Chains A and B, each alone.
Chain A
Amino acid sequence: MTTHRLAFSKSDTAKFISHLDLMRTFQRAFLRAGIQVRHTEGFNPHAFVSIPLPLSVGYSSGCEVLECSLLGEPDLEQIPQRMNAVLPDGIHVYQCYAGGQPVKALQYVNYIVTLEYEAGAPFGAEGAIRALLSRDSLVMEKRSKKAKSGFTQVDLIPLIAQATVEERRDTITLDLVLRAQNPGLNPDLVVAAIRQECPDMAPDFVSFHRRAVLDDQLQPWS
């Protein structure tokens, strides 16, 4: 059976739809659009869909992917338009294609993290953050479901492939390329490190945007 992928973006109000709710939203949208999708078997059959690398609630993304199996021989070019007509605000499908690279080839994720400072970025923040991310090792405590204590130690540096820091008047933008999986790194841990190691540079608000998913050559994964 052919696997199909829907590439979509998630922004505005839709940022706050959780991973499970998003899958349910797509399952219902397929029905509204009249697009036949392979269903699970059992007492409550529902569209078989999966979304690799769940996005944290509140993050926007321009590069989400939903996997499913479209039945019949649908015109893939028309799928985005048919889906967008029945999706809630903020979810926009821009491409539908068959096949693609395996999910395990998805090695890196590019995030744009915007640190906002109501009173302007503190003096020296850019340099301090750059220095922090250039350390040889940066060990943070992270919540873990597996560890008995509920916490585990993780060194961020080997998981950060690239990092650029850019200061504007009242924001600092981090352009990060992070390991995607096994193990992956959530950019909120990078922000937590800034808060912990450079408390004077702690932002008032942070927004996270997933810009691209990449393979091991740092080329776009699709």
Chain B
Amino acid sequence: MGLGMNRTLEHILPRVQKPARYTGGEYNAVIKDRSRVDTRVALCFPDTYEIGMSNLGIRILYGVVNQMDGVWCERVFAPWGDMEEEMRRESIPLYGLESGDSIADFDIIGFSLGYEMAYTNVLNMLDLAGLPLRSAERTGLSPLVIAGGTCAFNAEPMAPFIDIFSLGEGEEVTVELVNLYRKAKEECWTKEELLIAAAQIPGLYVPSLYEVSYHDDGTVSAITPTHGAPATVTKRIVQDLDKSYFPTAPIVPSTEIVHDRVMLEVFRGCIRGCRFCQAGYAYRPVRSKSAGVLVRQGIESCQNSGYQEMTLSSLSTSDYRYLLDLCDGLQSWCDPNGVNLSLPSLRADNFSWSLMERLQHGRKSGLTFAPEAGTQRLRDVINKNVTEEDILSFCRTAFAGGWSTVKLYFMLGLPTETDEDVLGIADLAEKVYRIWREVTPNRSRGVKITVSTAFFVPKPHTAFQWEAQISRAEYERRVKLLRDHIRNRAIVYRWHDPETSLLEAVFARGDRRMAEVLECAWRKGAKLDTWNEYFDYGRWQEAFADCGVDPDFYAARVRDKEELLPWSVTSVGVRPAFLWREREQAYKAAITPDCRRQCTRCGADQLNPGSVCDAK
């Protein structure tokens, strides 16, 4: 806190782990004069400081809002359990890191919802702030509680807690909402008046303005807008990323965070169209930044932060059209200045080895890629257009070049998966091993091939949004099947624990009745659920039982085409009819070309009128 620390806080910090997470005062944090500010905004990330500070979206919105005159935006993260205990004991309410002021007195409190398992942290943070959890119980104009992020595309489980959801990219709509709030405050509107007006801004979903009714079988029968709210709320996008704000003076944490480096976002959206991937559909259309702008922003970010590491970020970096130009431009500055450039999210099918060699400077760190499925048939079902030949030739080049660590990521439980597909994973890993034996220049060094499997979670706004998740028992059977067929000691098999995936499947496609379960689980102590130290599946099972909710209704049920899906009130710009067609193609194992080869008329181009999707 640039403004001097609260004495009670000073007394409790020596007793907690990693106290630098709770002090603020980092380089490039924005400090404003309270007396020259009319609107206070808390930007909350419902997880720890180390995770939240690694989120580029948070850094972008922080900068965008702080650029507004008279508005001060501060950061808030979920305290770890020891800190929470101290805060509750000493009656220290949740505070903004920049000022140390209690966020209950702020004008707007915004949450970033990136994953379902963070929902209980939102409730816990509202409670730590001393605020009622439910929107209906917060009757004043302030604090207005808003939320955005990927989970807002099915906002229903959080609907009773949040006043307004912001759908899609927040750079523009957040400013519009803050300005609407300032007008409301100046003209003494009621909260209801503000909510009704906010619903008229494209991209803002005000859940309290919709009445949801249900059939006897538990499915949704109608979602009825009231007070003139639109029937469907479509997400917002930034049209020209080159002109859009980018944080080139990033906050430099004084303690280590997860992604402790400059993150340079090269494009949004993805041309690929993998049928399971929510990000692939929800972030359409593809919009790139020009290499020149990126080089300038990358260099500025390093100079302003002192970071010696930079990473390119996107859903599939090797699909960036100007990757070589970009890397040349960045490298000619990074090399003499001792900055390391790294490229995650590369694909096996269009990978440039000369580029890799250059970036690695002779270092041979591990290679990671995600075939997602073990057989070509299943890869075609999910539209992961990578062939076995791509994967093996990729490995051949890597091993011949001296690499000896490869990680392969897969999912278990994808629609239509058979035991043959599961065993295909073991076969593929074995083939990778044989290639290594064949081409490695140094067999005595050994090889490490790691196979990891995750438990497939069907997500809303994807071609698989109608699918059932397989049962826990079936998932565990497939894990065992695979485990029993991986006998090679050079191949390490790791599988994801099923419990969080089961809950994700419930909340990802849950409706408003899930709010009861969330609140119930939180009252039983659920929080920090992404952390093993805190997660307790039993608590969630009790919450489902107490609320009379059958989790299988949400996770393990196939929806038919006619069912009104709870998230149909929100649109990511992709037509549901397109998604249904993709589902049908999946069952035929028919692939859909990527957006660069041929436009599939998914509908997302309409979000960016007058402009070409994935333009050159």
B342 to chain A, nearest CB (A): 12
B146 at the interface (CB under 8 A from A): no
A43 touches B19 (CB 8 A): no
Q: Whole-angstrom distance between the alpha carbons of A12 and B20 in the complex? A: 11
Interface residues in A11-46 by Cβ distance below 8 A to B read 12-14, 16-18, 21-22, 24-25, 27-32, 39, 43-46
Q: Whole-angstrom distance between the alpha carbons of A45 and B335 in the complex? A: 11
A57 touches B308 (CB 8 A): no
B338 at the interface (CB under 8 A from A): yes
> Which single member of B13, B26, B338 contacts A45 (CB below 8 Å)?
B338
> Which single member of B1, B24, B254 contacts A25 (CB below 8 Å)?
B254
Q: Whole-angstrom distance between the alpha carbons of A22 and B256 in the complex? A: 10
CB contacts (< 8 Å) of B57 on chain A: these are none
A16 touches B27 (CB 8 A): no
Instruction: Give the number of chain A interface residues (Cβ < 8 Å).
Output: 30
B366 at the interface (CB under 8 A from A): no
B89 to chain A, nearest CB (A): 13
A87 at the interface (CB under 8 A from B): yes
A39 touches B338 (CB 8 A): yes
The listed residue with most A CB atoms (<10 A of its CB), out of B4, B11, B254, B338, is B254
A184 at the interface (CB under 8 A from B): no
Which chain B residue has the least Cβ–Cβ distance from A34? B303
A58-B19, A205-B11 known; A27+B338 contact, CB < 8 A: no
Q: Whole-angstrom distance between the alpha carbons of A86 and B307 in the complex? A: 13
> Which single member of A28, A39, A44, A45 contacts B252 (CB below 8 Å)?
A28
CB contacts (< 8 Å) of B256 on chain A: these are 21, 24
Instruction: Give the number of chain B interface residues (Cβ < 8 Å).
Output: 31
Provide the B291-307 mask, 1 if CB < 8 A to any CB of A, else 0: 00000000000111111
A21-B256, A89-B25 known; A16+B19 contact, CB < 8 A: yes
A80 at the interface (CB under 8 A from B): no
Q: Whole-angstrom distance between the alpha carbons of A196 and B338 in the complex? A: 52
Which chain A residue has the least Cβ–Cβ distance from B307? A28
Which chain A residue has the least Cβ–Cβ distance from B254? A17
Interface residues in B333-360 by Cβ distance below 8 A to A read 338, 340
A32-B304, A43-B363 known; A87+B27 contact, CB < 8 A: yes
> Which single member of B2, B4, B255, B361 contacts A43 (CB below 8 Å)?
B361
Q: Whole-angstrom distance between the alpha carbons of A12 and B13 in the complex? A: 12
A88 touches B25 (CB 8 A): yes
A90 at the interface (CB under 8 A from B): yes
A31 touches B308 (CB 8 A): yes
A21 touches B304 (CB 8 A): no
Q: Whole-angstrom distance between the alpha carbons of A214 and B252 in the complex? A: 34
> Which single member of A18, A31, A43, A57 contacts B306 (CB below 8 Å)?
A31
B23 at the interface (CB under 8 A from A): yes
B5 at the interface (CB under 8 A from A): yes
B20 touches A58 (CB 8 A): no
Q: Whole-angstrom distance between the alpha carbons of A28 and B301 in the complex? A: 12
The listed residue with most A CB atoms (<10 A of its CB), out of B2, B23, B26, B338, is B23
CB contacts (< 8 Å) of A18 on chain B: these are 20, 255
Interface residues in B241-276 by Cβ distance below 8 A to A read 252, 254-256
CB contacts (< 8 Å) of A16 on chain B: these are 13, 19-20, 22-23
Q: Whole-angstrom distance between the alpha carbons of A39 and B307 in the complex? A: 14
A13 touches B361 (CB 8 A): no
B339 to chain A, nearest CB (A): 9
CB contacts (< 8 Å) of B19 on chain A: these are 16, 57-58
B457 to chain A, nearest CB (A): 36
Provide the A79-104 mask, 1 if CB < 8 A to any CB of B, else 0: 00000001111100000000000000
CB contacts (< 8 Å) of A86 on chain B: these are 27, 306
CB contacts (< 8 Å) of A14 on chain B: these are 25, 254
CB contacts (< 8 Å) of A31 on chain B: these are 302-303, 306, 308
CB contacts (< 8 Å) of B305 on chain A: these are 28, 32
B306 touches A28 (CB 8 A): yes
B536 to chain A, nearest CB (A): 30
Q: Whole-angstrom distance between the alpha carbons of A29 and B305 in the complex? A: 8
Q: List 17 A-B contacts (CB under 8 A).
A: A12-B1, A12-B4, A12-B25, A13-B20, A13-B24, A16-B19, A16-B23, A25-B27, A25-B252, A28-B308, A32-B305, A46-B308, A86-B306, A87-B27, A89-B25, A89-B26, A207-B10
Pick the 8 closest A-B CB pairs, nearest first. A28-B306, A13-B25, A89-B25, A31-B306, A13-B23, A58-B14, A16-B19, A32-B306
B-contacting residues of A (Cβ < 8 Å)?
12-14, 16-18, 21-22, 24-25, 27-32, 39, 43-46, 57-58, 86-90, 205, 207
Known pairs A14-B25, A57-B19 / 12 extra A-B pairs, C-beta < 8 Å: A13-B24, A17-B20, A18-B255, A21-B255, A24-B256, A25-B252, A32-B27, A43-B361, A46-B308, A58-B14, A58-B19, A205-B11
A-contacting residues of B (Cβ < 8 Å)?
1-2, 4-5, 10-11, 13-14, 19-20, 22-27, 252, 254-256, 302-308, 338, 340, 361, 363
